[in-house]
Chain A
Amino acid sequence: DTAVSQTPKYLVTQMGNDKSIKCEQNLGHDTMYWYKQDSKKFLKIMFSYNNKELIINETVPNRFSPKSPDKAHLNLHINSLELGDSAVYFCASSEGDGRKVAFFGQGTRLTVV
């Protein structure tokens, strides 16, 4: 079984559209994250949820809205997509302690055309 799974793996869409990426973890972790990897492969955290509560929001445009229906799921909805949103988005989960390992999904490659 995949520990952290994201769907879709690839997403190509036009500017101005709204899209969602889904993430699920079966590790029983309390904390989930969204990271963005840009074209230079730089990884930066976007959001974190702990038990469905938002705990990190790293100055991400409000077109990005995470939603956590339960602690095993963290979805990312993006409104009015822009060319600059093209990136790979990774979901991750951990026990929410800095010592603990974060497990990453396979990533969703978003291409905005």
Chain B
Amino acid sequence: AQSVTQLGSHVSVSEGALVLLRCNYSSSVPPYLFWYVQYPNQGLQLLLKYTSAATLVKGINGFEAEFKKSETSFHLTKPSAHMSDAAEYFCAVSDRGSGNTGKLIFGQGTTLQVKP
């Protein structure tokens, strides 16, 4: 069965510093990969997704992620944190292949705190 692990339930960075949120998946076949962000009391919003051969994916708000098959990872980065980036971040996977339903399996989430 597929699973997703986000290392670090809480990450704290200073404003302007690099943001690195880690995500590893466990699947015999590389799945489709997504990063979602959840602001307080809101729903989930897509940041970016990996579904094709391009391993470096750029998303909204300056975020990007790199798919590394050899490491089964899909870490999320942003060169310079902004106060407005403080939120909960979720890595998620979805099956490839016929019969997939679009069901998402989520990691545990990482709370990003940005200090002034």
Q: Is B102 a contact of A96 with CB atoms below 8 Å?
A: yes
Q: Is A98 a contact of B42 with CB atoms below 8 Å?
A: no
The size of the chain A interface, using a CB distance under 8 A, is 30
Q: Does A94 contact B (CB under 8 A)?
A: yes
Q: Does A102 contact B (CB under 8 A)?
A: yes
Give the distance in Å from the alpha carbon of A95 to the alpha carbon of B100 in the complex: 11
Q: Is B51 a contact of A45 with CB atoms below 8 Å?
A: no
Q: Is A98 a contact of B43 with CB atoms below 8 Å?
A: no
Our pick among B43, B49, B88, B97 for the contact of A104 (Cβ within 8 Å) is: B43
Instruction: Give the residues in chain A near B103, CB-CB below 8 Å.
Output: 33, 45, 48, 56, 98
Q: Is A100 a contact of B102 with CB atoms below 8 Å?
A: yes
Q: Is B106 a contact of A31 with CB atoms below 8 Å?
A: no
Q: Is B106 a contact of A99 with CB atoms below 8 Å?
A: no
Instruction: Give the residues in chain B near A103, CB-CB below 8 Å.
Output: 46
Q: Determine how close the nearest CB of chain A comes to the CB of B69; give it in whole angstroms.
A: 17
Q: Is B95 a contact of A44 with CB atoms below 8 Å?
A: no
Q: Is A41 a contact of B101 with CB atoms below 8 Å?
A: no
For chain B residues 86-116, which have a beta carbon within 8 Å of chain A?
A: 88, 90, 94-97, 100-106, 108-109
Residues in chain B within 8 A of chain A (CB atoms): 31-32, 34, 36, 38, 41-46, 49, 51, 88, 90, 94-97, 100-106, 108-109
